[in-house]
Amino acid sequence: MNKEVSFFKMSGSGNDFIVIDNREKLLSHKDAPDFARSLCRRKVSIGADGLILIEASSTAHFKWRFFNSDGSEAAMCGNGGRCAARFAYFKNIAPGEMFFETKAGIVKAKVTGNKVKLLMTAPKDLKDNIVLLLNNAEFKMDFIDTGVPHVVIFNEDIEKVEVTKLGRQIRFNPLFAPAGTNVNFVTVENKAELNIRTYERGVEDETLACGTGSVAAAIIAARKGLVDPPVKVKVRSGEMLEIYFKDNPNKEDFDFGEVFLEGGAFVIYEGLLWSESLNNGGKNV
């Protein structure tokens, strides 16, 4: 990269993202993973949980490419998706009600002020009542793909959970190879509210929020009869995400209709990226 590039730093429920308008193909697909790794380094570059590239689409208002901080590309990210939608709206790339293309499918979004409601891709690949032996103890969990893969484990007190240690063990367990999985530890507060902590693959640590993980937790909890929609999910940042879906009294019939995720998407700052921010202590791009 030999010239300054405009970017926005945005936050969705505590997940922070670097958002760049790449419709003019300033950045090649080949260079994107290294670019993401360099930019997302904290203290020596901008620092973020992920990089979002907004690109042209022939089937929707725009297309996005999403990269985790380790450079791996993910199909979907609920909190990042809300930030992408708000960015596209205030940059006049898309109207307030929009469609955008992801590797998980076409996503619908509605922007109202600094809140964004996403119609998520349909949950799939449910596997329930999985038992893993970790650290000489049995852990019961469920698995579902809400755009990206997620494990959900219910705990009476998630404050006592070693999220990073256990999350990493489960994320790299051969059962979930080769893609790995995100891992969510969930406490049921009441019939309408969950509390969640999430270990995210790609970041390889606990994050302050995960939209697709919150959706996974809400769907699994509803299927077990632990909550009724709509479900509020309190993420680590303290924000409440809201998950909307159809109430299904027949829990064995995995049909909850359209699933929506709603929460804030905030602009932190706008800046110009200099090439030396990529080269400072890291690989040249």
What is the number of alpha carbons within 13 Å of residue 262 lying toward its C-beta? 14
Task: Find the catalytic residue in 210, 231, 233, 243.
Answer: 210
The DSSP line for 123-175 is PEEEEEEEEEEETTEEEEEEEEESSSEEEEEE-S-GGGS-HHHHHHHHHT-GG
Angle at 260 between CA 258 and CA 261, to 5 degrees: 160
Contacts of residue 188, defined as CB under 8 A and 6 or more positions apart, other chains included, come to: 154, 194, 221, 226, 227
Structural contact between residues 214 and 78, judged by C-beta atoms closer than 8 angstroms: yes
Among residues 268, 265, 270, 269, which one has the least CA distance to residue 113? 265
The DSSP line for 94-111 is S-SEEEEEETTEEEEEEE
- Buried b / exposed e over 159-193, threshold 16 CB at 10 Å, is eebebeebbbbbbebeebeeebbbbbbbbbeeeee
Q: What's the one-letter identity of residue 134? A: L
Task: Find the catalytic residue in 48, 77, 241, 273.
Answer: 77
Q: Is 77 a catalytic residue?
A: yes
Angle between helices 78-90 and 211-223 (to 10 degrees): 130
Q: Is 40 a catalytic residue?
A: no
Residues labelled catalytic: 77, 210
